[in-house]
């Protein structure tokens, strides 16, 4: 998944931390629907049958790069994907 491919499927509101669909992915979804579902407190989004964590997609959407390490939520809330709440973690040894 590249940033361009991501932007073909989803729009990201960095202030709300939400993704919305730009094209329907099933009969149940419509353009403008909020994307993702809860997965152990984090938001999981499926694109082309592949699962992605929303905070990783937010990083890709804004920076154009997949994070080298994990993304941390500054306030500790794993479902708060506002870009201002995300920071690049450090590598664990």
Mean pLDDT of 74-84: 96
Domain ranges of the chain: 3-88
- Output the pLDDT for position 92: 59
Alpha helices by DSSP H, the chain: 3-9, 54-63
What CA–CA distance (Å, rounded) separates 23 from 40? 26
Alpha helices by DSSP H, 10-75: 54-63
Q: What CATH architecture does domain 3-88 belong to? A: Alpha-Beta Complex (3.90)
Burial of 3 (0-12, 13-18, 19+ CB in 10 A): middle
List pLDDT tens digits, range 34-78. Answer: 999 998 899 999 998 999 999 999 999 999 999 988 899 999 999
pLDDT band at 89 (very low <50, low <70, confident <90, very high): confident
Could you tell me which of 40, 29, 70 has the C-alpha nearest to residue 19? 29
- Output the pLDDT for position 42: 94
């Amino acid at each position: 998944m590249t940033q361009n491919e991501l932007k073909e499927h989803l729009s990201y509101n960095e202030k709300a931390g939400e993704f919305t669909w730009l094209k329907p992915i099933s009969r149940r979804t419509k353009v403008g629907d909020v994307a993702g579902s809860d997965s152990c407190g984090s938001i999981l989004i499926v694109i082309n049958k592949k699962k992605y964590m929303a905070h990783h997609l937010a990083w890709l959407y804004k920076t154009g790069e997949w994070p080298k390490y994990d993304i941390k939520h500054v306030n500790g809330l794993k479902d708060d994907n506002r870009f201002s709440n995300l920071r690049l973690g450090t590598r664990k040894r």
